[in-house]
Structures are given as structure tokens and as C-alpha cells.
Chain A
Amino acid sequence: MKKSIILFIALLGLASVAYANESQIWGEMRIQNILGYGQEESLKLGVLFTMLQSKYFAWVFLGVLLGVPLVFFLHYKIVGPKVFPHSHKKHYAFNLFHRTVHQIAAVSFLVLLPTGFIIVFGDFFGGGTLVRMAKNLHGLFTIPFAIVVIPMALMWLKEALFNLEDVKWFMILGGYLSKEKQIINATQFNAGQKMWYWVAILGGITMILSGAFMFFLDFKMEMLHNITGLSQIDLLRVAAILHNVMGFAVVALFITHVYMSMFAIKGAVYSIITGYVEEEEVKILHNAWYKKLKEKGKF
């Protein structure tokens, strides 16, 4: 009896070693990770993450969350919205595919961002069930966004490439600082929209990948270790840092995107709902596109 107990315990021990060997975090790498933590020759990612997360991330998110809307609130009060007549001719710019892809991304973001904030300010919300639910929704709504991000990238790629006109757009910030309706020589997307495209697509993919890292946690991708020279735990630290820093940009531009389409240009949001853009709006804000459409006999 006693012998079999000892044998059983020994087997248990062996089983736990076998498990440990497979793990990329708690296995053999663990000792190297411990010895490497904060050492001169290491990247000190553990120390860096601890410092950033404990002192800065939540405050920067708070700053972005309050600061960006405040700037736009002032813009709305001082400069005000651009209003274009809606009775004129229209052009069918976004077909059903464009709109479906966009709407799936939109719904995903409307869940991803608030839930992300609930996690960031988890102590404010008291932790527990609510924040855990936010975390689960955050992971769940990554899936629809991950499905549409590539189609969205491809369908608007041509319109989103920067050109020389965009430099001029940036110099006057698209004319949004003046009350007057200046004619802007932009194509279908102006430089601001292009910027949002790249942050949403490249930033979005970064968010998906870094999020997936944190979700799966203990997985093995030899290639990644070879390319980066980082251990699994250090890859996770990079993922967490990237997810937050890229998060700042995604949140800031998302708020901008919503403000421009819902408030700054009155009614612009309907174009992605119905598919039709207004002639007057295109003529003034996207004059290069307007001329091309005219040539083709649109409107």
C-alpha cells in the first residue's frame, strides 16, 4: 500500500515535470526568465511594463477619452459644423458589400472600445463580474472585426494611398478650422480619412494580434522566438505594451471619425448607411473625386 502511494506521488511529480517542459512560460524557460529579469543585458521588458502599466497607461487613456472630445466640443462651439444641402443629386458610392463590411467593423469597435475602457479602469468599476464580462465581450467582438479587417483593407486600399495633395490638406487641416466652405482638392478619401484608414487597419491588426497573444498566453511559435529573439513571456510583455500604446491612437482617431461623420459634417454618416453621398458635399470637400465623377457622367 505504502509503496503504491509513493509510486503514485512519484508519477504525479513526473507528470508535473512533463507538463512543465511543454509550457513556454512555466517550463524550462522559467529559470532563464527569472535570471534575466531586469538584468543589464536584458531588455528589461518586465520592469518596463510594470512601470508603464502602474504609472501611465490608465492616465493616458483618461486623457485621450476626455481630451479629444473636449477639443471637438470647442471646435463645434467655435467653428461649428459644415452643413450641406441634402436635396441635390446624389452618387451611389458605397455598395452593399462596402456598407456591410463597414457596419460589422463599426459594431465591433462600439463594443471593443467601451469594454477596453472598462478593463483599463477596472478598479473604478470594482472588478469582478462586470469587468470580467467586459473582458469576455472584448475578446468575443475581436472575432467579427478580425473577419472584416482584410476585406476592408482591400476594398479601400486604392483610395487610401497618400499623395501630394494630402500634404496641402494637412497644412490647412482640411479647412476644418474655418467656417467658410473652402474647396478642397481631395479624392474620395481626404488625408484625414486616409490616416484613419491606416490606423484602423494596421493598428487594428496590431490590436488583434497583440490581443490574441494575451488571450492564448501559453502557446509555442518557434518562428516568432527566432525572429525576435524574445522568450514567450517577453513577447507577452511586448504585446501588452503595444496593445495599450496602439490603443491610444485607435481611440483618439475613432473619436475623431465619429465626430467628423456625425457632427462636424452634418449628416455625413448617412452615406455609409444608404450608400449615397451628396453632390454638394463631394464638390467642396472632395473636389478631385467630384471632377472625376463628373467626367464619368455621375450625378
Chain B
Amino acid sequence: MSNEMSRMKFFCDDHRCIECFACSVACAEAHELPTGISRRKVITLFDGIEGKEVSTSIACMHCTDAPCEQVCPVDCFYIREDGIVLHDKEKCIGCGYCLYACPFGAPQFPRDGAFGAKGAMDKCTMCAGGPLETNSEKERHLYGQNRIAEGKVPMCAAVCSTNALLVGDAESVSTIYRKRVAGRGKGA
């Protein structure tokens, strides 16, 4: 496994998130997600309470020692060198175990299997596609865009107008955030 600090991570700076839903909508559009699937979601706590209201954007956190990967009965997860947690939808049976293990409620299930059963699991890929040939039609269809392969930033972070949503290796993300906190003079 690669060095902890060089793993790709998301971080949402809740001092900046203005609850505009751009990340969530851009993600759904970019990857042409089926209805009912929302890889990234904006959640607001203490809605309307002045001084307390806070919003943040959540998706798969691409965990170190990912619990989803540990429980999958068909072993369809793989963790890239850079720490991005991906899975093979053609192997996945849609059992739901990864959802039970996930601390962030990231895995979701379209009802597209036989008899209305849960279909293959879907979650954020950090715009890194899947195990199929990079940028192939099939990869795009099953996993959405592979922006990482094209050297682009994940869609959600690219459209974040306040730059609340940060993505990159853990080292750079925490450097940026530390600078911000120093600048604001408050809030860690």
C-alpha cells in the first residue's frame, strides 16, 4: 500500500460550502446516473439556525482499509495505487453488504436486476472509471467518465464555485486547508 499522505482524498470545507448542489448535480449529469442514484450529496445540519447551520458535501470517502472491500462476498473491490477505491460492476451481485459496512452510506443500488432485486452497486469513483479499458464506451456506460485518466479534476470539485470541495493527495489537501484555517484565524 502506498504512503498514507499520497492517497487521494476528498475534503469538504464546511466554512465555504454554500449548499448550492452544484457538485451533486454536475456529478449526476457527467456520469449520466440513473434516477434515484446520487453519488454525491449535499447535506445541511441545523437548517435555519443562525450561527449553527452548516453544510457539507458527501460521497464515498475512498477510505484507507476500506470496510466495503473487506466484506464483499465476491471480492470485487480493488484499491488503486493512489488510494481510489473502485469496484467491478460485472462481478458485483448487489448484495448490499458494502452498504452495511460503509461508515458514510456511500454504496447505492439501482433496482434493475431481475424481479426488482438490487442491481450492481453504484458509488463515487472519484471520476476514475472502473476496471474496463480506460475511456472505452463500456467503461463510460458502467462507471461514468474517467476524468482522472484524462488528467482532469473530478467533476464535483471542478464545479465547486467556492472551492469548498477539495480533492487531491492527502498531503496537498491538508496543506491547502491549513493555509485557509490560518487565514481565517479560526475553525479547524
Given A16-B28, A236-B100, CB of A217 within 8 Å of CB of B95: no
Contact present for B93 and A215 (CB under 8 Å):
no
Residues of B within 8 A of A135 (CB): 93-95, 117
Q: How large is the interface on A (under 10, 10 to 19, 20 to 34, 35 or more residues)?
A: 35 or more
Docked CA distance A139–B20 (Å) = 41
Docked CA distance A30–B105 (Å) = 7
Among B5-13, B65-73, B149-157, B160-168, the one that faces the other chain is B65-73
Mask, B72-113, CB within 8 Å of A = 1, is 111110000000000010111111110111111100110001
Docked CA distance A120–B92 (Å) = 13
Docked CA distance A49–B114 (Å) = 27
Residues of A within 8 A of B108 (CB): 26
Check if A192 is an interface residue, CB within 8 A of chain B.
no
Chain A: which residue is nearest B68 at the CB level?
Answer: A50
Contact present for B41 and A16 (CB under 8 Å):
yes
Check if A201 is an interface residue, CB within 8 A of chain B.
no
Residues of A within 8 A of B188 (CB): none
Given A13-B25, A49-B71, CB of A26 within 8 Å of CB of B97: no
Contact present for B113 and A19 (CB under 8 Å):
no
Chain B: which residue is nearest A121 at the CB level?
Answer: B73
Contact present for B43 and A31 (CB under 8 Å):
yes
Check if A25 is an interface residue, CB within 8 A of chain B.
yes
Chain B nearest CB: distance from A5 CB in Å? 11
Contact present for B99 and A25 (CB under 8 Å):
yes
Chain A: which residue is nearest B38 at the CB level?
Answer: A16
Chain A nearest CB: distance from B18 CB in Å? 12
- Among the interface residues A121, A132, A236, which one has the most CB atoms of the partner chain B within 10 A? A132
Given A12-B25, A16-B25, CB of A128 within 8 Å of CB of B100: no
Chain A: which residue is nearest B114 at the CB level?
Answer: A136
Contact present for B103 and A37 (CB under 8 Å):
yes
Chain A nearest CB: distance from B107 CB in Å? 10
Contact present for B74 and A122 (CB under 8 Å):
yes
Residues of B within 8 A of A53 (CB): 70-71, 73, 97, 101
Residues of A within 8 A of B100 (CB): 46, 49, 233, 236-237, 240
Chain B: which residue is nearest A9 at the CB level?
Answer: B25
Docked CA distance A214–B117 (Å) = 10
Docked CA distance A34–B95 (Å) = 21
Contact present for A139 and B96 (CB under 8 Å):
no
Check if A33 is an interface residue, CB within 8 A of chain B.
yes
Contact present for A50 and B95 (CB under 8 Å):
no
Docked CA distance A225–B73 (Å) = 28
Docked CA distance A34–B104 (Å) = 5
Contact present for B94 and A132 (CB under 8 Å):
yes
Check if A297 is an interface residue, CB within 8 A of chain B.
no
Docked CA distance A25–B99 (Å) = 10
Chain B: which residue is nearest A236 at the CB level?
Answer: B100
Chain B: which residue is nearest A34 at the CB level?
Answer: B104
Given A123-B75, A136-B114, A136-B117, CB of A34 within 8 Å of CB of B28: no
Known: A46-B101, A50-B70, A236-B96. 7 other contacts (CB 8 A): A12-B28, A31-B45, A49-B71, A54-B71, A126-B74, A135-B95, A215-B117
Subset of 5 A-B contacts with CB under 8 Å: A13-B25, A17-B21, A20-B38, A122-B95, A217-B99
